[in-house]
């Protein structure tokens, strides 16, 4: 550490970066030492708002930091993160997607190992309580259906919908299925922008799990839903509402805790029950939790919930999906 208290800086304080500054300002026993943005007026405004210093020179800020958040547009993630790790020995939190290319992600991972620095990546949904509650269940999915729909906004349209939205769900999918990807089929269309606005991917894993994922940035309403089916269990996860419903098939519902409803049925002359649970979930500020996880990981008290390798693996699948969609259109 460069001093007793962990020193954090935020690079890029636009729409999301301002919230990084806000949260770091609230985390105890660390110091938000400064912010830097290529737009100096924005940098000054955010520095005043969160009681920190605005830097005109990125090196001057990195020099005094133990960790930095990289919240710039995706095309600059690699250069900013590389500079922070290689030249200034900083731990880095990089917003998703980690980089534009797999080669860049691999280089950052390699540098972080050489320099013994943490890379954490902002796949924030992994902290969603609606997903985390499933850690208590013995998940072994056979089929996973994921839908993420969002109304159109200009933000995020610098990249295809697969890299902007679907990457969240690919990361979740890879965390749920402990097996390698066997095959991918994908298709997509442009509706508003010059790149892909609606995409669908069917992914099969070596262990037989099948998934079907749809992402769209042309929707009236926001939808972020996951349905997981496995032997004797079906669950629906609403990431937006932070609610999870679990239906278990059992001979004896009394062994399942907090069952709200049971429904009997008979199959092959065996009487069974569908037991319904809807756990009470505490809503949390996910970004606050994510940045606390980064700080605790720097302190050696925790590990990043999504590290550079996880993020690289999600990017790898997403790039394959995107290439497949483009080939399909030609
Ligand atoms: P934004 O355009 O609102 O903000 C980006 C800021 O970075 C701007 O203020 C810009 O002036 C500044 N900037 C540009 N290049 C820079 C550089 N080289 N050095 C320093 N500052 C620079 O974008 P945003 O919506 O805040 O998105 C930022 C990143 O966060 C993107 O990678 C995006 O994919 C990611 N993001 C993640 C989530 C999530 O759910 N985890 C949500 C939204 C955005």
Nearest alpha carbon, ligand 1 atom 9: 14
What's the whole-number mean pLDDT along residues 111-131? 98
Q: If you measure from the C-alpha of residue 12 to the centroid of ligand 1, how many angstroms do you get, rounded to a whole number?
A: 6
pLDDT at 155: 81
Higher pLDDT among residues 45 and 195, named by residue = 45
Sequence-ordered list of residues with C-beta below 8 angstroms from that of 324, at least 6 positions apart, any chain: 184, 185, 186, 187, 201
Long-range contacts, 43-50 (Cβ 8 Å, 24+): 43/13, 46/10, 46/13, 46/17, 46/18, 46/21, 49/18, 49/21, 49/22, 50/18, 50/21, 50/22, 50/24, 50/25
Say what the pLDDT of residue 154 is: 83
Question: What pLDDT score does 3 carry?
Answer: 64
Lowest mean pLDDT across 79-93, 156-170, 301-315: 156-170
Q: Whole-model pTM?
A: 0.95
Mean pLDDT of 168-173: 98
pLDDT 10s digits, 2-57:
667 899 999 999 999 999 999 999 999 899 999 999 999 999 999 999 999 999 99
CB atoms within 10 A of CB 284: 13
Q: Which residue puts its alpha carbon closest to atom 25 of ligand 1?
A: 15
Protein residues with CB under 6 Å of any ligand 1 atom: 11-17, 36-39, 42, 71-74, 76, 80, 95-96, 122, 124, 155
Mean pLDDT over 139-146 rounds to 97
Q: What is the mean pLDDT of the chain?
A: 96
Position in ligand 1 atom list of the atom nearest CA 42 = 9
Give the CA angle between residues 240, 208, 105 to the nearest 5°: 60
Arithmetic mean of pLDDT, 96-104: 97
Q: Ligand 1 centre and the CA of 258: distance in Å?
A: 42
Ligand 1 atom at minimum distance from 72 CA: 7
Best mutation site among 21, 56, 95, 126 for ligand 1 pocket (most ligand atoms within 8 Å of CB): 95
Between CA 17 and CA 46 the distance in angstroms is 9
pLDDT digits 0-9 by tens, 210-233? 999 999 999 999 999 999 999 999
- CA of 77 from ligand 1 middle (Å) equals 9
> Which pLDDT value is given to residue 330?
81
What is the per-residue pLDDT for 156?
A: 74
How sure is the predictor about 294, in pLDDT bands with cuts at 50, 70 and 90? very high
Confidence at residue 2, expressed as pLDDT on a 0 to 100 scale: 61
Q: DSSP H helical segments within 91-152, as ranges?
A: 102-115, 129-132
H helix runs in 147-224, sequence order: 161, 167-176
């Amino acid at each position: 550490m460069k001093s007793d208290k962990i020193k954090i800086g935020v690079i890029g304080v636009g729409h999301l970066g301002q919230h990084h500054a806000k949260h770091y300002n609230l985390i105890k026993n660390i110091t938000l030492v400064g912010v830097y943005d290529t737009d100096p007026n924005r940098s000054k405004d955010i520095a005043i708002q969160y009681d920190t210093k605005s830097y005109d020179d990125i090196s001057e800020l990195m020099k005094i930091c133990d960790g930095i958040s990289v919240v710039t547009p995706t095309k600059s993630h690699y250069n900013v993160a590389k500079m922070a790790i290689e030249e200034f020995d900083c731990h880095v939190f990089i917003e998703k997607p980690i980089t534009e290319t797999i080669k860049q992600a691999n280089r950052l991972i390699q540098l972080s190992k050489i320099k013994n620095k943490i890379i954490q990546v902002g796949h924030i949904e992994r902290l969603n309580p609606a997903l985390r509650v499933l850690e208590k269940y013995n998940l072994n999915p056979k089929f996973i259906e994921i839908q993420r729909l969002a109304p159109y906004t200009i933000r995020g349209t610098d990249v295809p919908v697969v890299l902007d939205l679907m990457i969240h769900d690919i990361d979740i999918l890879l965390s749920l299925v402990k097996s390698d990807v066997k095959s991918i089929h994908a298709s997509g269309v442009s509706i508003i922008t010059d790149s892909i606005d609606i995409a669908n991917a069917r992914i099969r894993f070596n262990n037989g799990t099948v998934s079907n994922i749809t992402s769209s940035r042309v929707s009236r309403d926001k939808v972020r839903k996951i349905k997981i089916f496995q032997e004797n269990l079906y669950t629906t996860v609403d990431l937006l509402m932070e609610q999870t419903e679990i239906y278990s098939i059992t001979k004896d519902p009394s062994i399942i805790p907090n069952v709200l409803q049971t429904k009997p049925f008979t199959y092959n002359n065996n009487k069974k029950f569908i037991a319904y649970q809807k756990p009470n979930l505490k809503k949390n500020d996910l970004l606050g939790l994510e940045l606390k996880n980064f700080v605790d990981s720097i302190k050696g008290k925790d590990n990043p919930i999504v590290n550079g390798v996880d993020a690289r693996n999600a990017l790898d699948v997403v790039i394959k999906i995107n290439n497949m969609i483009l080939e399909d259109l030609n």
